[in-house]
């Protein structure tokens, strides 16, 4: 049970709870072509097709954390953050993905980590957040096993170089997103639409994860832990009809358990293996893969939660000769009366985070976990500006309502250790650039001035009180 706080908070969290926010290298650093950084797939794609990006804003024009990190970290400190998740840029550290290391990148990341530690903020460091070095993509990206080895070598160097400053490591953030967006839905580079290739990319990504974990186990990082960050999206059936339940089962296998089971249990669920073979989608494997996956079991899990997935049995047979897609096996449905974030087009369903935590408690050994991303993007937030502060009361309500369900899961024995908002400051959101703003801190894109929003000051007090 969670103790009741003497400050009379209705919702009190443990004293060692991880409070903070999360960001990624490509989305905040900027300096995409300076500091010795090599090109990644986002730099290349923007160069080739700037029209695919909102307002034609690319990764060079992000929030300039590369030059302004001391100011940003001081803001985190002022706002009481005790932890911050960032990612390292593979192509900044290894411009060609392998080979010669970029010493400018090492100096930069050492400075960032030193600033965080001096501010009393623990760095949670992620190795990969959608940003494949272009040199690696040219040889096939995650379809090529050579890239798996290159990733393991990159991870090994990072552990050796930064392991004295970083104790909490992650291999991947949301590994299913490059699979979905890059190999199924034509939303990210390389813009492939091929379920078979997507399955191979997903499988090889988990092999890369396991190799990085294997390397970590041999690294000398006292009190170090390694995990993975998954965007777990609960799949809710429209009804208890067998056909709807089966649709939800398939969606859960494809989008959640395909990463959750190998990461936490060291193996794929047999029902997923059977289903992939039945559909002719089973990936190419090699001897030794199963033992490697068993070595990839994580110490703790980051959970990104934004929305539920609601599915029903298919109402129509797929069009003949159309590409096989996940939606060939189920339809989505809109729950009547659902609450929406109209700017992002996502349903807001706070209980989903509780359902995830209880599932982990009951079916995944109650693995230590934390909410590594949660948040809402809103367009034209300057509408809510009063006295130079954005009055984002909607974000406060969003966070508060999710924290209530996290607190309930805590009371019921879930092993949840923290909450990080996406994100610290308004950042570049892949194809959407700065269309929707997510941050505790607003960023003026003309002057790069940072200004905390009302939610930042509210969250500061939540952290100070360990609750609300």
Per-position DSSP letters for 2-33, written without gaps between them: PPPPTT--SSB--TT-EEEEE--HHHH---TT
Strands (E) in 56-214, as ranges, are 83-87, 122-126, 168-173
In a domain, 312, yes or no: no
Give the CATH number of the domain where residue 58 resides. Answer: 3.20.20.80
pLDDT for 2 equals 39
Instruction: Taking the CA atoms of 81, 230, 292 and 205 in sequence, report the sign of the dihedral they define.
Output: negative
Residue 358: the pLDDT is 98
**DSSP-derived secondary structure for 372-415:** EE----EE-GGGGEETTEE--HHHHHHHHHHHHHHHHHHHTT--
Q: Is residue 341 in a domain?
A: yes
**Domain region containing 369:** 18-176+188-229+288-306+337-465
Q: What is the pLDDT of residue 226?
A: 98
Q: Residue 322: what pLDDT? A: 87
Q: Closest by alpha carbon to 128, among 90, 158, 159, 100?
A: 90
Whether pLDDT at 11 is above 50? yes
278 has catalytic annotation: no
Type and span of the H or E element at 247:
helix 242-252
Residue 366, pLDDT score: 98
The answer, yes or no, to whether residue 166 has pLDDT greater than 70, is yes
For residue 6, pLDDT beyond 80: no
Cβ pair 230, 169 in contact under 8 A = no
Q: Is 160 contained in some domain?
A: yes
User: pLDDT above 70 covers what percent of the chain?
Assistant: 98
Query: What is the C-alpha separation between 139 and 38, in angstroms, rounded?
Result: 16
Please check whether residue 143 lies inside any domain of the structure: yes
CA atoms within 13 A on the CB side of 250: 22
**For residues 91 and 134, what is the distance between their CA atoms, to the nearest angstrom?**
8
Question: Is residue 74 in a domain?
Answer: yes
Is the torsion defined by CA of 367, 373, 376, 377 positive or negative? negative
How does residue 7 score in pLDDT terms, banded at 50, 70 and 90? low
Let me know if residue 260 belongs to a domain. Answer: no
- What is the token pair recorded at 143? 């379809």
Residue 244 lies in a domain: no
Q: Residues of 185-212 as b/e, b for ≥16 C-beta within 10 angstroms?
A: beebbbebeebbbbbbbbbbbbbbbbbb
Would the pLDDT of 125 be above 80?
yes
pLDDT band for position 152 (50/70/90)? very high
CA–CA separation, 413 and 425 (whole Å): 32
In angstroms, the CA 3 to CA 17 distance is 13
The rounded percent of the chain whose pLDDT value lies above 90 is 96
The Cα–Cα gap between 208 and 171 comes to: 9
In tens, the pLDDT along 63-98 reads 999 999 999 999 999 999 999 999 999 999 999 999
Whether this model's pTM surpasses 0.95: yes
Residue 293 tokens read as: 């996956």
Nearest Cα residue to 314 out of 327, 331, 326: 331
Q: Considering its fold, how many domains does the chain have in total?
A: 1
Specify the pLDDT at position 3: 37
Mean pLDDT of the chain: 96
Specify the pLDDT at position 319: 84
**How are beta strands 340-341 and 385-386 bridged, if at all?**
unpaired
- Of 373, 381, 387, 412, the catalytic one is 373
How far is residue 95's CA from residue 74's CA, in Å, rounded to a whole number? Answer: 30
Q: List all residues 6 or more positions away from 447 whose beta carbon is below 8 Å from its beta carbon.
A: none
- 263 by DSSP, 3-state: which? helix
**How do residues 398-413 score in pLDDT, each as one tens digit?**
999 999 999 999 999 9
Q: E-assigned strands of 194-339?
A: 225-231, 235-237, 300-304, 309-312, 331-332
Residue 4 has pLDDT above 70, yes or no: no
| Residue 282 forms part of a structural domain | no
């Amino acid at each position: 049970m969670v103790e009741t706080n003497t400050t009379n908070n209705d919702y009190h969290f443990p004293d060692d709870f991880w409070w903070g926010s999360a960001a990624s290298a490509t989305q905040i650093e900027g300096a995409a072509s300076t500091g010795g950084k090599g090109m990644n797939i986002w730099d290349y794609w923007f160069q080739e097709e700037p029209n695919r990006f909102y307002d034609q804003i690319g990764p060079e024009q992000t929030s300039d954390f590369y030059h302004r990190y001391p100011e940003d970290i001081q803001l985190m400190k002022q706002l009481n953050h005790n932890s911050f998740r960032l990612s390292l840029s593979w192509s900044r550290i290894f411009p060609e993905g392998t080979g010669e290391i970029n010493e400018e990148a090492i100096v930069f990341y050492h400075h960032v980590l030193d600033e965080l530690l001096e501010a009393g903020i623990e760095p949670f460091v992620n190795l990969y957040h959608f940003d494949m070095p272009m040199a690696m993509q040219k040889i096939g990206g995650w379809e090529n096993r050579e890239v798996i080895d290159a990733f393991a070598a990159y991870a090994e160097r990072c552990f050796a170089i930064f392991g004295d400053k970083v104790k909490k490591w992650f291999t991947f953030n949301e590994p299913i997103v490059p699979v979905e967006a890059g190999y199924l839905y034509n939303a990210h580079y390389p813009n492939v639409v091929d379920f078979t290739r997507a399955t191979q990319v997903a499988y090889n990504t988990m092999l890369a994860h396991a190799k990085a974990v294997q390397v970590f186990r041999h690294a000398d990082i006292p009190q170090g832990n390694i995990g993975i960050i998954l965007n777990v999206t609960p799949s809710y059936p429209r009804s208890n009809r067998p056909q709807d339940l089966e649709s939800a089962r398939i969606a859960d296998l494809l989008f959640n358990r395909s990463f959750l089971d190998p990461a936490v249990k060291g193996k794929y669920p047999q029902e997923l293996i059977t289903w992939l073979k039945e559909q002719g989608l089973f990936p190419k494997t090699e001897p030794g893969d199963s033992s490697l996956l068993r070595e990839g079991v994580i110490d703790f899990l980051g959970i990104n939660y934004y929305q539920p997935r609601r599915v029903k049995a298919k109402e129509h047979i797929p069009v003949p000769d159309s590409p096989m897609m996940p939606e060939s096996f189920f339809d989505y449905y809109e729950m009547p009366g659902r609450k929406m974030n109209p700017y992002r087009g996502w349903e807001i369903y706070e209980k989903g985070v509780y359902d995830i935590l209880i599932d982990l408690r009951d079916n995944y050994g109650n693995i230590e976990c934390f909410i590594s991303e949660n948040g809402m993007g809103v367009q034209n937030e300057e509408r809510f500006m009063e006295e130079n502060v954005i009055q984002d009361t909607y974000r406060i309500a969003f966070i508060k309502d999710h924290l209530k369900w996290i607190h309930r899961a805590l009371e019921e024995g879930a092993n949840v250790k923290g909450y990080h908002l996406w994100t610290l400051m308004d950042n570049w959101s892949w194809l959407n650039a700065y269309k929707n703003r997510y941050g505790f801190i607003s960023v003026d894109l003309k002057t790069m001035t940072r200004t905390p929003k009302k939610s930042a000051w509210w969250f500061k007090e939540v952290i100070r009180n360990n609750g609300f």
